[in-house]
């Protein structure tokens, strides 16, 4: 049975890799995630700073096709043309079980867009099974865009917020093939309003957001997978109550592209604070810096490329569990840049985190230099490393210790590895990763995606 589960996990990872590589918008967030997910909660804080692009769902949207400029952002011509879009949503997790939903986007003019949708889950009972959201967005056109949006929603929220690559559908595949549930979940109901300015000429975007939400814990409802694996962990009980926060985020540089897992060169800075009358009291600050640099040149080859990413988050006051920072890990055997490739399952988390990721893609020049082209062909050779540390709350877990099992790094965590890129002929950016934790432990083998250049 263990062998079958391992084989099925690899199959699930392969399906995830193919899905992400063939669906450029597969890692985009749903409108409700973009609108209400706390910015900077994960290492993918840049995603919350970008204009909304509808997520590719199980059913193709109806309406005009979406044109994009070189930054992956809708063009003014597209804003004028497209009117109505519909999309379905489906996923599976250990709290909602099966969730089905329908989303709709109505663009009544080039300046106003209305988003709405709803869904239901079979795992939860009574009112908790229903989700819904409605929001409106006003935006100007041109190279300098001023925008404002507001909305109301009730949903089963993911405690880590949005991540850089783990979509609900990808997590569903991992769970059903015997893997762990990557997320924890809680009930969130409330209102948000945001406004900002997007200066396209200097690639700068400033956004301010207000949240007024009520949070409550949700129970574990299922541990089902296709091969009857061991029961999954309980769903973490969060710090329930009424939360009001204001946040501001500044994003400078190249946005996250629709066809690569990371940005080219960018810096994101953000802060969030609770208001005086709320039941919570904390402040959070985060930063996410990314850099891509061409390096070595070899005749007949593309330039080698170095990618760097530094992320950090810190907080003051009593940070609730649903606002903890994370350092991402692998999803089953699927990994990506910006996540620790030698770690599988739940990510590391804490009230303070810092992580540094790097990788250097030599292309196939090493194969030519060593004279092994007859064996490896045009395979890319990539070396990489990840270094992270997280800190748990100094005051302890209090009443939540019964359901919350903290996953911290217990000091600094380091890993090194090597990858072979272009291993699948029809999906050229698939790579095979070999990651070794330096503190000890076995080499972890995984599948990932190389970045387009």
Give the pair of three-digit tokens for residue 115.
């988003």
Strongest mean pLDDT among 139-148, 251-260, 374-383: 139-148
Which pLDDT band holds residue 277 (cuts at 50, 70, 90)?
confident
Of 72-86, 279-293, 430-444, the poorest mean pLDDT is in: 72-86
Sorted by where each begins, the domain ranges of the chain are 2-56+160-449
Going from the C-alpha of 196 to that of each of 45, 49, 111, 204, 327, the distances in angstroms are: 16, 10, 15, 11, 28
Q: Is the pLDDT of residue 290 over 50?
A: yes
**pLDDT value of residue 399:** 43
Q: Is the pLDDT of residue 41 over 90?
A: no
CA distance 100 to 38: 24
Pairing status of strand 241-253 against strand 282-294: unpaired
- Closest by CA to 321, choosing from 248, 217, 424, 249, is 217
* Stretch 18-34: mean pLDDT: 47
Question: Between 395 and 246, where is the model more confident?
Answer: 246
H-type helices in 309-407, by residue range? 365-370, 373-376
CA distance 186 to 196: 28
**pLDDT value of residue 336:** 87
**pLDDT value of residue 214:** 97
Which pLDDT band holds residue 170 (cuts at 50, 70, 90)?
confident
**pLDDT value of residue 126:** 86
**pLDDT value of residue 283:** 96
- Per-residue pLDDT of 214-259, as tens digits, reads 999 999 999 998 888 778 889 989 989 999 999 999 999 976 543 4
- Do the beta carbons of residue 249 and residue 277 sit within 8 Å? no
Q: Average pLDDT over the chain, rounded to whole? A: 79
Percentage of the chain exceeding pLDDT 90: 47
Q: Is the pLDDT of residue 3 over 80?
A: no
Q: Is the pLDDT of residue 379 over 50?
A: yes
Q: Is the pLDDT of residue 355 over 90?
A: yes
Which pLDDT band holds residue 89 (cuts at 50, 70, 90)?
very high
- Closest by CA to 26, choosing from 377, 330, 449, is 449
**pLDDT value of residue 27:** 41
Q: Which three-class secondary structure state does DSSP give residue 7?
A: helix
> Domain 2-56+160-449 is of which CATH architecture?
Beta Barrel (2.40)
Q: Is the pLDDT of residue 383 over 70?
A: yes
Q: Is the pLDDT of residue 391 over 80?
A: yes
Which pLDDT band holds residue 261 (cuts at 50, 70, 90)?
very low
Of 152-156, 170-174, 243-247, 272-276, the poorest mean pLDDT is in: 170-174
pTM: 0.82
How many degrees, rounded to 5, is the angle at CA 365 between CA 361 and CA 370?
A: 120
Which pLDDT band holds residue 295 (cuts at 50, 70, 90)?
confident
- Per-residue pLDDT of 197-211, as tens digits, reads 999 989 999 999 999
């Amino acid at each position: 049975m263990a062998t079958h589960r391992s084989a099925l996990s690899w199959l699930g990872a392969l399906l995830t890799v193919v899905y992400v590589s063939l669906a450029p918008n597969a890692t985009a967030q749903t409108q409700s995630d973009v609108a209400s997910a706390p910015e900077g909660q994960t290492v993918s804080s840049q995603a919350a700073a970008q204009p909304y692009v509808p997520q590719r769902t199980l059913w193709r949207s109806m309406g005009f096709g979406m044109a994009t400029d070189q930054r992956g952002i809708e063009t003014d011509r597209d804003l004028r043309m497209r009117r109505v879009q519909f999309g379905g949503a489906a996923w599976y997790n250990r709290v909602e079980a099966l969730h089905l939903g329908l989303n709709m986007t109505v663009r009544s003019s080039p300046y106003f867009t209305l988003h709405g949708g709803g869904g239901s889950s079979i795992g939860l009972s009574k009112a908790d099974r229903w989700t819904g959201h409605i929001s409106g967005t006003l935006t100007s056109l041109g190279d300098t865009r001023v925008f404002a949006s507001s909305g109301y929603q009730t949903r089963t929220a993911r405690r880590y917020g949005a991540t850089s690559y783990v979509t609900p559908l990808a997590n569903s595949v991992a769970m059903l093939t015997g893997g762990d549930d990557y997320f924890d979940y809680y009930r969130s109901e409330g209102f948000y309003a945001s406004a900002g300015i997007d200066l396209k000429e200097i690639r700068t975007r400033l956004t301010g957001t207000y949240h007024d939400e009520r949070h409550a814990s949700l129970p574990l409802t299922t541990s089902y997978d296709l091969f009857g694996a061991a029961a999954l962990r309980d769903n973490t009980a969060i710090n329930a109550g009424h939360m009001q926060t204001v946040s501001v985020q500044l994003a400078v540089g190249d946005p996250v592209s629709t066809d690569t897992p990371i940005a080219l060169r960018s810096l994101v800075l953000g802060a969030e604070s609770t208001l005086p009358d709320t039941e919570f009291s904390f402040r959070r600050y985060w930063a996410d810096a990314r850099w891509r640099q061409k390096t070595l040149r070899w005749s007949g080859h593309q330039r080698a490329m170095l990618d760097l990413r530094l992320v950090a988050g810190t907080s003051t006051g009593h940070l609730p569990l649903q606002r903890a920072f994370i350092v991402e890990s692998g999803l089953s055997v699927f990994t990506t840049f910006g996540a620790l490739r030698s770690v599988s399952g739940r990510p590391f988390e804490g009230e303070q985190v810092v992580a540094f990721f790097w990788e250097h893609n030599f292309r196939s020049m090493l194969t030519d230099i060593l004279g092994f082209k007859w064996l490896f062909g045009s395979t890319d050779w990539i070396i990489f490393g990840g270094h992270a540390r997280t800190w748990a709350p100094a005051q302890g877990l209090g009443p939540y210790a019964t359901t919350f099992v903290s996953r911290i790094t217990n000091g600094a965590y380091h890993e090194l590895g090597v990858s072979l890129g272009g291993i699948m002929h029809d999906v050229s950016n698939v790579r095979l990763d070999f990651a070794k934790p330096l503190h000890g432990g076995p080499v972890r083998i995984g599948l990932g995606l190389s970045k387009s250049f």
